[in-house]
Amino acid sequence: MQTTIDVETLQEMLDRGQPVTVLDIRPPDERAEWAIPGSIYVNAYDALKANDPQALAGIDLPTDRPVVTVCGAGATSLIAADHLHRQGFQALSLEGGMRAWSLAWNRAEIPLPDSQATVIQVRRTGKGCLSYLIGAEGVAAVVDPALEPEVYLALARDYGWTISRVLETHIHADHLSRGRALAERCGATLYLPAQNRASFPFTPLQDGDKVEIGTARLQALHTPGHTGESTCYLLDGQALFTGDTLFLSGVGRPDLEAGPEEARNRAGDLYRALQRLLTLPPEVLILPGHTSEPIAFDGQAITAPLDEVRERAELLQLPEKTFVELLMARIPPTPPNHHRIVELNEAGLLPESDPTELEAGANRCAVG
Contacting residues toward Fe ion, per CB under 5 A: 172, 244, 365
Min separation Cβ 289 and Fe ion, Å: 7
Min separation Cβ 288 and Fe ion, Å: 11
Whole-number Å distance between alpha carbons of 297 and 187? 31
Runs of H (alpha helix) within 70-178: 76-86, 97-101, 149-159
User: CA-based angle 27:30:32, to the nearest 5?
Assistant: 110
In this structure, the strands spanning 285-288 and 304-305 are antiparallel
Which residue, 95 or 168, is less far from Fe ion as judged by CB? Answer: 168
Which residue, 165 or 175, is less far from Fe ion as judged by CB? Answer: 175
Which residue, 23 or 176, is less far from Fe ion as judged by CB? Answer: 176
Min separation Cβ 190 and Fe ion, Å: 18
Which residue, 244 or 255, is less far from Fe ion as judged by CB? Answer: 244
Min separation Cβ 78 and Fe ion, Å: 36
> Helix (H, G, I), strand (E, B), or coil: what is residue 327?
helix
Min separation Cβ 199 and Fe ion, Å: 19
Which residue, 186 or 273, is less far from Fe ion as judged by CB? Answer: 273
Whole-number Å distance between alpha carbons of 330 and 310? 18
* Cα-based torsion angle of the residue sequence 333, 335, 339, 340 in order, rounded to the nearest 10 degrees: 150
Closest residue to Fe ion: CB criterion: 244
Whole-number Å distance between alpha carbons of 119 and 109? 6
Q: Residue 343: what residue type?
A: E
Which residue, 83 or 172, is less far from Fe ion as judged by CB? Answer: 172
Concatenating the DSSP letter of every residue in 298-314 gives S-----EEHHHHHHH-G
Q: Is the dihedral of CA 36, 302, 342, 167 positive or negative?
A: positive
Min separation Cβ 42 and Fe ion, Å: 34
Whole-number Å distance between alpha carbons of 279 and 287? 17
Which residue, 76 or 249, is less far from Fe ion as judged by CB? Answer: 249
Which residue, 286 or 365, is less far from Fe ion as judged by CB? Answer: 365
Whole-number Å distance between alpha carbons of 251 and 366? 6
Residue 152 C-alpha from the chain's centroid: 14
Whole-number Å distance between alpha carbons of 287 and 301? 9
Whole-number Å distance between alpha carbons of 73 and 197? 34
Min separation Cβ 136 and Fe ion, Å: 27
Min separation Cβ 62 and Fe ion, Å: 40
Q: Give the N- to C-terminal CA distance of the chain in Å, as an integer.
A: 48
